[in-house]
Every structure is written in structure tokens, then in C-alpha cells.
Structure 1
Amino acid sequence: MAQGLGEVSGTLLDQRTRQPLPFANVVLLRLSDSTLVAHTQTAENGSFALNNLALGRYVVRAEALGYQVVRRSATLEAAAPVVRVGEWLALPTVVQLGSVVVQGEKAAVVNELGKITLHVDKDLTSAGGTAADVLQKVPSVAVDDNGQISLRGNASVTLYLDGRPAPPNLRLDQLPASRLETIEVITNPGAQYAAQGTGGIINLVQKKQDKPGWNGDALVTIGTRDKYTASLSGNRQVGKLNVSGSADGLSNRFYGSSSLRQVATVNGRTIRTDQTGASTRLQTSHSLRLGVEYTFSDEQRVGLTAQYYAQDFRTTQDFATRLAQDSYPSYLLRNQNAEADNLYGSRFSGTYRRTWAAAPGRALTASASYYLDGGTVMPQQRVLEGPAGYPLGARQQLLDVTIQMPSVQVDYVHPLDKQRRWEAGVKTDALVTAGTSDYAVQSTPGGEFFRQDAGSYRYTYRQLIPQAYGAYQHKSEMWEYQAGLRAEFTGLSAQVLPTGSARQRILNVFPSATVARTLPHDQRLQLSYSRRVNRPNFLQIIPLPIYSDARNYVVGNTNLRPEYVHVGELGHQLTWRAMTLSTTLFGRLASQSIQSLRTIDTVATRRSGQPGFITRTSYANFGRTASYGVELSLTQPVTKWWKLTANGSCYRNQVASFTGSGTRAGFTGSAYLLNQFSPTKTLALQLSGHYRAPLVVPQGRILAVYGVDVALRQRLFHDRAALTLRVSDVFNTRRQYTQLAADGLVTDIRTKYETHVGYLGFSWFLGTRKAASTIEDQPQGDKGGIGG
């Protein structure tokens, strides 16, 4: 083969819509033996270029997710060393599998190196559920009964909503799954992402209709025992203007049970508390979202989005409490805890994007957003019955809060040549919140509540985080390199009257680096590193007591400092025919680890004047913690009508002991298995199961959680409609069991919410929207580049 410098370039487009296909894989193979010679990805405008090529005969192949593979030959000669493909058209995938026809389908779970994407529409076992239900299906992600998210056992996870940090009061159990398009989990983000979140980033991407003409869908779902959801979304695109909108609402009632066992030693006395109870939760919410996007030209476009939501959350827990002290007779009480949350929010955002056709890959993006959230939260505790002389009545806390979150961001990407580029960006995030906490007591049952100055507070909290980053990327035939550095300044001030204040001024730099190697036979090896931070949220810092029940309260710690972590991953991905296998070795080492602790408040116990004791939950920095392990993901068609997706992780989790000396460690992990069946042309069935192993925490451990879900979908009226039936937690096994131990305190907490629920949903599709099937057999598309 003669030596020289040749080039192959072109633009990959959708054959039907003529829209560009960004981030598609383009590879160059030697014609004689199919050896991989070079590869690249298409830019935002679908363009690509392979240069510095030896002269000879080649095959150019392009793969985009949901499209047929396209190939063409290219001969580079001394007289014509440059081949310009021009507009290269790709058809959406149409695969005939017996009696099953699949057109342009995406997999339910796409596992790339460093990134996992779940397509919500493809996960039938989440129909009628919420974002919390969907996240339970994401590999290595766990959501407890309180909505706390953890990734690989780490609870410091940053939530994004449409690519921007989500407001602090976002409730996942109030966000309908029907509102979401995808969920992206980025386990080791690069410098392009904010450094907050030692566990990683989870981006919730809401549906956005952008197809030509009129398009949309409507969904109504009913569940057993008073559970209802409905959503409507659509768009109208005419020429360069696209207008989209969506509306949704839910009303769900859940029943549950709980038990609490505590044994404490206070001032030489042994006190035992036993509580058993039943609870009811009523969740209602509605949301309206409008978006406008205008394309000035192929190089410039602008978009505006506005959203409003309102949420109402009511919970009532009736339980019996038995208090026993040494050899004295025990007390039997009948209690009731209630909470009423009324929350609202509005969000506005705008984006401008500029690209240059003459310089593929060059892009300028500017965006601004403003979140305004607020509302009231009112927990209340009542003593309904007790022994003679025991004080009856109630107490309540009314929290009134307003949260403002403005943000501005500018990013610029500049290619130096076909193989190298650099990018940089600046961003400023702010959070301002102010509120009141009024404590009131009801001296007699049914009487008036009287505000108490002792226990009532006013607070303000301000946080400003200016940031800047720069990154450099280089691609060669077989290697990719990226290095980045991010600088972030944290300035916060908090004041709670009359208890205290907090102030922090911290400047940090966060390096990141990735090296990737393309191997023969569609394999990829990637090594990445990043340094990240977990900043305490304002409720973890401000000294504002929040009463969870009559005998427990939570309060922040003004001395709490950020937690820092070093994260490393080594991943390998193999694609062979229709099978994809991903393996990731990961490790994380954290310093100043933030942990929550429950202890006995001896002062509050003495002041209460009641039998029993009062516990206090707060936060502290506890030295170093570490975890390391392996994560596997396999996607494999078993037959023409059966596809299997399996995910699993096993890792050693080490945390600092609550006593401040020594560590606690143990092996844990998770497993998820999804079976997708297509027994007929229009019927799809999914059967999934998940298991989360026991997890070590500073004061004890959280026991295993597991369950099985099943769902089926029947497509109707030539794919214009679909009927979905699903049953969650078929065997009713999901429950949370936590064991804690502190100095003089042992606590067992068992919680069982209603998870065994049946749902029936009906969807209607307009325009080009169609009911999704579930068997996919198409090119895997982009295997994931560097930087997320």
C-alpha cells in the first residue's frame, strides 16, 4: 500500500427527515482484511472527517443508535487522495424477526463506559409510577423509603433536571415517570461537569417533542387502592419554529406499616421504647411545561422553556408506644404523627447555540436559568391516649420556605484540527433561601395551638459558587486522551435566629483525566480519574431543629465541612453481534466523610419531664472512607422473541466508625435482571427482579431489599395506542430494615410501604409518535466518548 496523506469526510443525515445524526460512530476498515484503520464521531451537525490516511482501498462504515449501518467504499489514490462523501443518508432500523417488526427502537438500558442511560418509555415495569420507581431499575442505584438516592452505596449523588442542577426540594416520588424521556447516570464525570456529588450525577431528562408537524401522546393510568396518573404532551413544528408543551398530574394514596425498637441507658437507667403503627400517604401533584425553539439557520438556534408545578403531600401515622424503665411499670400511649406539605415552583430557562459549518465541532453555547420554589411543611405530633396524669395534646412545627436558584453558563468548544480540540466554560450557581419555623403547642386535645418563642426560629442561607473549567482532548487512530481542570469557589453564609450562624469560603481545584483505547473486534478499554466534592446542603449546616416525631429530631451542624473524594474507574466494553458486555472496576477514597448520626439528647430528655428519652440526629465529618469493586452489564438476545439484560455489582464498603476510631467494612452489591419477551407481533412482556445486599453504615447496617416486577403491553390500532398492565413487587417483599447502635443506644427500624400494586394504563399517540415495542436488535451506536 502506497504511503501518503489522504482524507475521507462527509455528513451523516436521517434519510427521511434530512436531520443531522450527531455522535454516530464512523470507522475506516482496510478493504483487504477489515482491519480497523481509523475512527471518529460525527459532530452536532452530523459532519465527520478522517485524515492522515495512507493511500489505499477502504470501507467506511457509520453506526447510529436506531439506524441501519451504512457502508461505502473509498479509494485514496495519489491523484485523488481526498474522498468527500457529501450527504450520507441513513435509514431508521427496520429488522424482521419472525413476526416481530422493530423500527428505530432504543434499548431499555444502554450501558456505556462511564455512563448508563435508561429510556423510560421502554421500561414497562415503571408505567404509572414515579421517578423514584424508575431509578430503582438503574444499575447500582438505590432509593430508600425516604427518597434518598445512593449510587454504589454512596448517598452523595447530584440530581440534574434537563442538564441543570435540580432544586433542593425536588421530590422524586412526586415526579411522574410519564414526564421523563431518559435517565442518565454518569459515574465519573469529567471537568465539563460540576464537581458536586462524590457518588456521581443523575440527570433526569424530561420529554421534549421536536418532530415535524403535529405530534404528541396522552396517557392515563389507574392503580389499585386509589392511584391515578395522567399526562399529555405534544408539539407543533412549522419550518424553523417548534412549539412544545406537556401537562401531567398524579394522585396516589399509599398505605404502610412501621415499627421502632430502641433501648437506651440514660443516667444509669435503662429505658426501652417499642412503637408499632400504620400509615397513610396521599400524594398529589400537577405540572405544566411549555417550550419554544427557533432555528435561525443551520448554525444558530435559540430555545426558551417555562415550567410550573404544584405538589401536595399528606401523611398520617397512627401508632402505639410502650415505654418501659428498669423494673417500673410500663406506659402505653396512643400517638399520631401527621405532616402536610404544600409546595410550588416555577422554572425558566433559555439557551443559545452557535456552530460553524466551516469548522465542524466548533460550538458556543450560552444558557441561563432561574428556579423559584417555595411552600410550607407542617409536621405535627399528637398524644391521643395515655395513663392517668400523662400530658395529652399536640405540638406542631410550621416551616415556611422560599428558594431561589439563578444560574448562568457559557461553554465553548474549539477544534485545533481533525484530531485535537479544547473546550472551556464558566458558570455561576447561586442559592438563596429564607424562611421561618414556628413551634406551637396544643395543651388540650382539640384546643387551640399557641406559638412558643422557645423553639421558633428565623433563618437565611446564601450560597454562591462561581466555576470555570478547561479541557483538552486528542484522538488518534486507536487512542483517545482527555485532561481537564475545574476550579470552584464556594461562598456560603447561614444564620438561624436565635441559635447560631455558619460561614464558609473555600477555593478548590478538581482535576480529571481519561485515556481510552480502541481494541480489535469492537472492544474499548477506558481508564478515568476525577476528584469531586460533597458540599453539605443547607439543612445539614443550619442549626434548625426539625421534629420527625415526638421523640426524635434532626438538626444541622455549623462546623460541618465538605467531603472530598478521589474516584477511579477502569472499564472494558465488548460488542459482538447483538451482545454487549461491559465490565468496570471502580474505587473511591473519601476524606472528611459526611455521616448522619443518631444519639441520645440527655438535656432534651431531662427537660421533657416525660418518661422515655429524646434522640437527636445530626451530621459530622468522620475521617476517611473507601469502597472498591466491580460492576458488570450484559445485554444478550436469547431467542428472536426473548432478550436478556443483566446488571450486577459487588464492592467492599468501608466507613469510619461513629466513635471516631477504627472503621467498619463489609462486602455489598446489587443485581438486576430484566427479561423482555415478544410472543406476538403486538404484545410485549417484561419480567424483572432486583436485589440490594446489606450495607454497612457508621452506626450499623441496612439489611437487604429485593423484589420482582412484571408488565405487559399490547399495541393497538396499528400502533396508534397501547394498553399496559403491570404489577409491582409481585411477592410483596420490599421493605427497609435498619439496625443502628451508638453509645448507650440500640435502634431497630422496620418500614414497609405499599409496594404490591397493580396498574392499568392506556396511551394514545399522535403524529409520528408510535407505541414502543421491546425487542431491539440494532447497531449499538456510540459506545461513549470522553467527557460524558
Structure 2
Amino acid sequence: MRSLGGWGRQLTRLLPGGRWVGGLGLVLAGLWPGRLPAQTLGAVSGTLLDQGTRQPLPFANVLLLQLPDSAVVANTQTAENGSFTLTKLALGRYALRAEALGYRPDRRLVVLGAAAPVVRLGEWRLAPAAVQLGSVVVQGEKAALVDDLDKKVINVSKDLNSAGGTAADVLQKVPSVAVDENGQVSLRGSTGVTLYLDGKPAPSNLRLDQLPASRLETIEVITNPGARYSAQGAGGIINLVQKKQAKDSWNGDALATLGTRDKYFAALNLNRKVGRFNFFGSANGVNNWFHGSSALQQVATADGRTTRTNQTGLNTRYQASKDLQLGVDYSPSDQQRLTLSMEVNQNVLHQTSNFTTLLTRDPDPAITLQNQNLEVDDLYYARLSSSYRRTWAAQPGRELTASATYTLDGGTVTNEQRVLDGPASYPRQARRQLLDVTIQMPSAQVDYVHPLGDKRRWGAGMKTDVLLTPGTAEYAVQPVAGTDFVPQAAGSYRYHYQQVIPQAYGTYQHKAERWDYQAGLRAEFTGLRAQVLPSGSASQRLFNLFPSATVARSLPHDQRLQLSYARRLNRPNFLQIIALPIYSDARNYVVGNPDLRPEYVHVAELGHQVSWQSTTLSTTLFGRFTSQAIQSLRTIDTLATRLSGQPDFITRTSYQNLGRTTSYGLEASLSQTVTKWWKITANGSFYHNQVASYTDAGTRANFTGTAYLLNIFSPTQTLAVQLSGNYRAPQVVPQGRLLAVYGVDVAVRQRLLHDRAALTLRVSDLFNTRRQYSELGAAGLSTDLQTKYETRVGYLGFTWFLGSNKPASNLDSQPKGDTGGFGG
């Protein structure tokens, strides 16, 4: 017999730095009495997969039933790759039952005899649950939000309130997640969130507030990634999984959505599966106009004189994007799959802001200006990727994956500032900055998992990420309206940035009855060089180790307790490092800091999950401990203000490492079926948010949180209604605070034409309450900013389903997307 303390000692021997991991096992062994039973004669193993897509089914229940009375002899949950193992079984005849949310339960007869005490089932494919009701087929329903202990999964196609919206709209439903008016996402108060697209690093110009929600199948929010994930992203990882059909023959859907005040979206998704080939593709187009308003009040003191700015304005924003994806899967055998895919995207943004500015500087008379800011973005990206997956039927859990991706990302960004009206003494020349950038991101990785018997396995992987970006920033002035812009050598720059990150990791996992131990170590090297002409250059060479560990315990009555730890970092992006000034308007600019270093974070989580009857409750206690915290700071540029010669002032925003911070709190998620026609999903967070003070003299903190409530009504078999509301409490930032944001959404969907079509009506921000308030302060500067974007929008969408792809329940049950694989 081997005690839990013995397993801790074994982990100590096997893992680098494993002394503390073994110690953790010894502590837990001391807290939980008893020893593992002696080894018996039989074992059963296998891997649960989706019947159509052959994607793994994690966290499914597998029960071994005694025959003939069907008493439960043993049970387990599948791992992330769908594998399961039951050991130490008495010989005899059993029924093995598999249960997964949204799939038809399945049984298999298992006979454990003296001649064959070990049964390896290999791949066990489950079909989506389906019940025939007259002429209507009702499929098993996936939850709109699944809160597992290690990640939260949003099934976008199940959320009617995402119709016509963006990925940013969907993310507002996740505990502790907030998205500001610029599409910047933060998790638990940290903006250090890494974006992935189908399991690969997302293009740098990808914005969540410009990505249509209808392109996505699921969004995965991983708050405390282990060693097999990249260490980048102090706040966690958000993986955007795009839709991908994989059904037999021709299948797909066509979608068109109209929104109030000129908002249009259309999409076509198709696949053709023939034998071992599956061809898939999609095309999307967006054409939207948005309208908004803003108000700004600033008081600044420079050179002993105080200037007050009072500004009000209106803006219009035009967004247009086109996206095309094509790909093919080839399965030479049941254990192998090769995927080749490509995607091209063009994104255009035109934004015009007209505002009135009142400038007051005592004792001078007040000045009133009519200003106009123009921004034109013409961006693109192209991505080529290939992946290979190999499994072994005789060794469930053994898996090899490899992938290579090349992303080309770039375009131009033009900012213009004009004075349309004002005193004759105030300069009228227009100013323009043209940024031209090209980003190349090749990436390659390989991952391998190998089982060590039925209860243990190890994994390892390698990955290399490269980023190359040459570019220019041309500054020009227009002396007289209607004439050509004249380039200015002063204020124009050329830059070049390169970054190489080789990485490697190893993991070890051990199951012991109801215990599950995982530990890993990741090594990453960062080498970067940045050069900005004529201002200067910078370089960094960093090597870091990132340990992680998880201990989980299955408890009676469908409960699970999990403790996890990981060390992570947040690398500055190239615009935060290079000393390149970027002008957002005539009075404000942003510039990088060549001395900026990564921030390092220790994250610990204690989660508990329990299910009973129609209720699931998940709670998580978390703590985040950050050193060298990266903060953005706005200050007065006194030199630029003095040189301007005007009764005005110029502000400068840059980045600094500002000491240590500690944040901690509680997240909770509840799923409750009230009646057969009413289901509630509620989640929220309450946490202590701490940031470093911009004065570098301590920290600022407050208690804040989020709340979200989703009501799903199914009054008939073909009608679905969703009513939801969300709230984000005020929170502090280094120079002030952000005030509360809240709103209510409602959506209705009616299935038509014997499930061949569906009509969706949605109104976002029903009471028009969502707006952004910021209160900021610095030495000699105070700022109050109010921004109101067009958030109350009505959307009407029509979907036509092709082939066997149907909305077979009150909420769509789309095929699973391809996550593209993580690791390395």
C-alpha cells in the first residue's frame, strides 16, 4: 500500500523544484485520514468524444454499474482530453454509463475476467441528446455559461443577447470581467489579459468591441492557467473559439442582422464532409454606424498659471469589416487528424469628433474654439495555420499535437486635428499623424502527453513566438485649409521592434481515488530589441521560470474542491516600450517607456463546485500578488505647453512600474432551473482592488465587484425569451477612479418553417444607462471625463439553416468549435 504522503515524496523526486509540491501532498495527506486501498484485479479506460466533431468531452461523468441491480460501484470524471480510467475493480460483469451535458447518455457492457482483467475501450463517441416530439427534434441544451473550476466557458450561440453584438458585449456576463469604452478588457481589475483566437495568439489589431459575436462558438476565460499555457497575461487568458461545422454532407447557416440607425451584419457558414475530408469555410461582413457624445472638464497648473478646459462634443463612428475563412480537416485514421486553414480580414474605422472647447486662463479672457478630430484606420490581417493531432486507441490519454501559424498584421492609422473656428490669434493649421505598421508573427509548437499506467501521466511541450514590426510615424501640417499636408522632419519617426520568446514546459498529473494532483514548470526566455529613429533604442533579455500546481478533491454529493497556484507575468507590448509619441488629439499624446519591465504575478485560487438536482453552484476565492505593477499615467507636459505659446496645455500619457499590489476576493456562479420553462443563471464577484499610486508613495484600493443575472424563458417549444442585466461597481485606478456602469438587455427568438429558420429580436441597454465616467488626478492636473456611446440599439436577425444544421431546441445547439489546442 502507498499513502498520500508516499505520493508526495514521489512527486518530490520526479519534479524540478518538487520539494514544495511533495510537501503540499504531505500536508493534504495529514488533513485527510486513511490510505489508498490495495490494488485489485480489474480496470476500465477510454476517451469520450463528440460523435460529429471528435472533440474531447471534458468533465463528463462515467459510472460503473453492478449487474443486474445497477448499483454504482465506481465513478469518475473525464480529463480535459476526454480520457478516463477506473481501477481496482473486482472481476465481473458491469454496465459502464457515460453522461455529458448536452449529449445522449450511453451504456456499454464491460466484462472483467481473469483472462482479460483490463478493458481499454479506446474512443467512445457520444451523440448530442435528441428526443423526437412529433415533427420537432429537441436536442440537449448547453448552458449559456459553464463555470468550471479552472475556466469559464460562454456558449455564445446560446446567448440571444449577443445577437448583433460583439465579443465585448458577451464578456460583460463573466464574473470580474469589465470592458471599457475603448474595448480594453480587464479581469479582476487587471488589464493584463492575453487574447487567443482558436487557441493561438490573436492578431495585435484584434479588438473585442469590433469582433462580431456571431462569428464565435464559445469564449473561454481561464483565470489561472497552468504550465502548459503561455505565462503571458497576468490577468488570465481569453480564448475566442470561432464557429466551425463538421457534420456529414452539406451543412451550414446564413445570417443577416439589421440594427437601428444603419447597422448591418451578414454571415455565411458552410461545411462539406466527405469520407475522411471535411471542408469548411465562412464569410462575414459588418457595416455599422454609431453615434455618441462626450464631456471633458480639466484643470491644469503649469508655470504658475492655471488653465481650465471645458469641452463638449458629438462623434460618429463608422465600422466596416470583411472576413473570409477557409479550411480542411483530413483524418487518415480514427487516431489522426490534420487541419489546414487560412483567414483574411479587413477592418476599416472612420471616426469624426466635433466639439466645442472653452479655454480659460486667468487673467486672460476666455477663448471658445470649434475643433474637429478625425481618425481613419485601414487595417488587415492574414493568418495561415496547420495542426496535427495523434492519439493511440491502445493507450487512452496518450496524445501528440503540433501546429504552426503565420500571421501578417498591419495597416495605416491616420489622426487629424483641426480648428474650425476661434480667435484669429489661435493657430488654424491642421495637424496629421500617419502611422504605417506591418507586424509578422510566426509561431510553432509541439505538445505530448504520455500516460504512466491508469492513474498517472506526464506532458511536455515546446513553443517559439516571434514578433517583427517595422513601421513609420509621419507628422505633417496643413498651413491653409484645402492645401496639401507638408511633412515635418521634427515629429516624424521610423521604428523597428523584434521579439523572440522560446518556451518549454513539463507537467505531471496523478489521480489517487478522489484526489487529483497536477504540477508543472514552464521556462520562458524573452529577447527584444527596439529602435526608434531619431530618439534612441532599447533592449531586454529575460529568463524566467513559472511553477504551477493544482490539488483537487472529489467530495460526496457531486462536489469538487480545488486549490491552484501559478506564477505569471505581463510583458509590455511594443507600443508601451518604444519611445514613439502617438497623438490622439491636439492636446494629448501617448508615448512608450523604454525602461518598462514586465510585471510579475502570483495567483492563488480555492474553488468549490456542487450540483444537486437542477442547481449548480460554483464559488472561487482568489488572490493576486503583483510586483513591478505596470500602470499608465497622465501628466502635464510643461515643456510642450510652454512651447505652444497658447492659453492651453498639453498632457502626456506614459507607463511606469509602480511597486507591489495585492488584490483578493470572491466569485460565485449559480445555475438554477426554476420551472421547465424558466431557468436562471446568476454570477457575481466582490473583491478588494488595489493599485499602485501614481505618486509612488503607497497604494490606492477599494472594494468593488460585478453582478450579472440572466433569465431564460421558454413559453413554447419554438419561442425563447432572455432578459439580462449587469452591473460593474466603481473601482480605483492609479490616478482616480472609474464610476459604476450598468444596463439591461432583452432578446426574443422564434423558430420558423419547421426549424429551417429563426427570427431574433434584441434590444441592448434597454434603459440607455450604460456610460463611462472617469475621475483622474495628477500633480497640477484634475480630469473629469464622461463618455456616452450609442448603446441602446435594436437588432432584428434572420437565420436560415442549411443541411442538417438546425436550431433543435429553444436555444441553438451549434457544433463545437475547434479550440486549436493550447500548450507550449
Give the TM-score category using the shorter length. over 0.9
Deviates further, 617-626 or 17-26: 17-26
Match status 1:219 vs 2:258 = no
Which residue in the other structure is 2:303 paired with? 267
**Distance verdict in 2 for CA 1:586–1:33, change over 3 Å:** farther
Distance in structure 1 (CA, Å) of the matches to 2:792 and 2:650: 34
Matches within 5 A, 1:265-664: 265-664=301-700
Query: 2:234 & 2:203 partners in 1: Cα distance?
Result: 18
Shift of 1:60: 3.5
Per the alignment, do residues 611 and 182 of structure 1 end up closer, same or farther by CA in structure 2, a change over 3 Å counting?
same
TM-aligned CA deviation for residue 11 of structure 1:
6.1
Equivalent residue, structure 2, for 1:731: 767
State how far apart, in whole Å, the 1-side matches of 2:117 and 2:233 are.
49
| 1:251 equivalent in structure 2 | 287
Q: Does the 8 Å CA contact 1:684/1:773 hold for their aligned counterparts?
A: no
C-alpha separation between the residues in 2 aligned to 1:584 and 1:96?
39
Deviation at 1:107, TM superposition (A): 1.1
Q: Is the 8 Å Cα contact of residues 736 and 775 (structure 2) preserved in structure 1?
A: yes
1:7 and 1:694, CA in 2 relative to 1: closer, same or farther beyond 3 A? same
Counterpart for residue 192 of structure 1? 228
User: Aligned-pair distance for 1:27?
Assistant: 3.2
* Cα distance in 1, alignment partners of residues 484 and 123 from structure 2: 76
2:246 corresponds in structure 1 to: 210
Once residues 539 and 787 of structure 1 are traced to their aligned partners in structure 2, the CA distance between those partners, rounded to angstroms, is: 27
Whether the aligned pair in 2 keeps the contact of 1:638 and 1:644 (CA below 8 Å) is yes
For residues 251 and 84 of structure 1, what CA distance do their matches in structure 2 show? Answer: 53
CA contact (8 A) 2:122 2:394 kept: no
Q: Please report the RMSD computed on the Cα atoms of aligned residues, expressed in angstroms.
A: 2.5
Distance 2:659 2:133 in 1: 56
Are residues 419 and 379 of structure 1, via their aligned partners in 2, closer, same or farther at CA, if it must alter by over 3 Å? same
Matched residues in 2 for 1:100 and 1:615: separation? Answer: 63
How much has 1:575 moved relative to structure 2? 1.1
Provide the C-alpha distance between the structure 1 equivalents of 2:107 and 2:733, rounded to a whole number of angstroms. 53
Conservation of the 8 A alpha-carbon contact between 1:262 and 1:272: yes
Structure 1 residues 10 and 412: CA distance shift in structure 2, 3 A: closer
- In 2, Cα distance between equivalents of 1:543 and 1:86: 56
1:131 aligned residue (167, 171, 180): 167
In the alignment, is the contact (CA less than 8 A) between 2:470 and 2:495 conserved in 1?
A: yes
Distance of 1:57 and 1:236 partners within structure 2: 42
Instruction: Report if aligned partners of 1:122, 1:774 keep a CA contact under 8 Å in 2.
Output: no
Structure 1 residue 646 displacement after superposition: 0.2
Letter matched to residue 469 of structure 1: Y
Question: Which stretch shows the higher mean deviation, 767-776 or 742-751?
Answer: 767-776
Deviations 1:638-666 (A, max 9, x none): 11100000010000011111100111110
Q: Post-superposition shift, 1:477?
A: 1.5
CA contact (8 A) 2:738 2:774 kept: yes
Q: CA deviation at 1:612?
A: 1.3
Deviates more, 1:595-604 or 1:98-107: 98-107
- Cα 1:583–1:312 change in 2 (3 A) is same
Match of 1:39 among 76, 83, 89: 76
Quick check: 1:698 aligned with 2:708?
no
User: 1:77, CA displacement in angstroms?
Assistant: 6.8
> Are the structure 2 counterparts of residues 728 and 157 from structure 1 closer, same or farther at C-alpha, using a change threshold of 3 Å?
same
Paired with 2:38 and 2:546, the residues of 1 have a C-alpha distance of 46
Give the structure 1 partner of residue 818 of structure 2.
Answer: none
Distance in 2 (CA, whole Å) between partners of 1:443 and 1:249 is 39
Deviation by residue 1:329-375 (Cα, 9 ceiling, x = unmatched) = 11101000110000111100001122222222111111100000111
Name which of structure 1's ranges 85-94 and 685-694 shifts more when overlaid on structure 2.
Answer: 85-94
**Residues 458/89 of structure 1: CA separation in 2 closer, same or farther (3 Å cut):** closer
The aligned counterpart of 1:120 is 156
| Corresponding residue of 2:724 | 688
Q: Which amino acid aligns with 1:269?
A: R
Q: Give SS of 1:375's match.
A: strand
- Distance verdict in 2 for CA 1:498–1:768, change over 3 Å: same
Q: 1:210 to 1:79 in 2, by over 3 A?
A: closer
Unaligned ranges ≥5, structure 2: 1-36, 814-821
Q: CA deviation at 1:445?
A: 2.4
Q: Secondary structure at the match of 2:643?
A: helix
Deviation at 1:597, TM superposition (A): 0.3
SS of 2:169's equivalent in the other structure is helix
Q: What's the counterpart of residue 268 of structure 2? A: 232
Cα distance change on mapping 1:722 and 1:311 into 2, 3 Å: same
TM-score, normalization by structure 2: 0.91
Q: 1:195 & 1:730 partners in 2: Cα distance?
A: 40
- The equivalent residue for 1:783 is none
| Aligned-residue offset at 1:62 | 1.4
Q: Which amino acid aligns with 2:329?
A: E
In structure 2, the residue matched to 1:713 is 749
Helix, strand or coil for the counterpart of 2:101? coil
- Alpha-carbon separation, structure 1, partners of 2:53 and 2:268: 28
CA contact (8 A) 2:719 2:810 kept: no
Percent identity, aligned pairs only? Answer: 70
CA shift in 2, pair 1:139/1:72, >3 Å: same
- For the residue of structure 1 that corresponds to 2:602, the secondary structure is strand
| 2:39–2:88 CA contact under 8 A, matched in 1 | no
CA separation in 2, counterparts of 1:350 and 1:406?
Answer: 12
The number of residue pairs the alignment matches comes to: 778
Going from structure 1 to structure 2, the CA distance change for 1:348 and 1:96 (only over 3 Å counts) comes to same
Residue deviations 1:388-441 (CA, integer Å, cap 9, x gap): 322112100000000000001011111111111000000000000011000011
Task: Verify: 1:741 aligned to 2:741, yes or no.
Answer: no
SS at match of 1:216: strand
Q: Deviations over 1:461-512 (max 9, x none)?
A: 0000000000000112201000000000000000110111110000000000
Distance 1:68 1:441, change over 3 A: same
Q: Tell me the distance in 2 between the aligned counterparts of 1:11 and 1:422.
A: 17
5+ long unaligned stretches in structure 1: 778-785
Which amino acid is 2:749 matched to? R
Q: What's the CA shift for 1:300?
A: 1.9
In structure 2, relative to structure 1, the CA distance for the partners of 1:33 and 1:520 (3 Å cut) is farther
Structure 2 SS opposite 1:468: strand
Q: How far apart are the structure 2 equivalents of 1:304 and 1:417?
A: 34
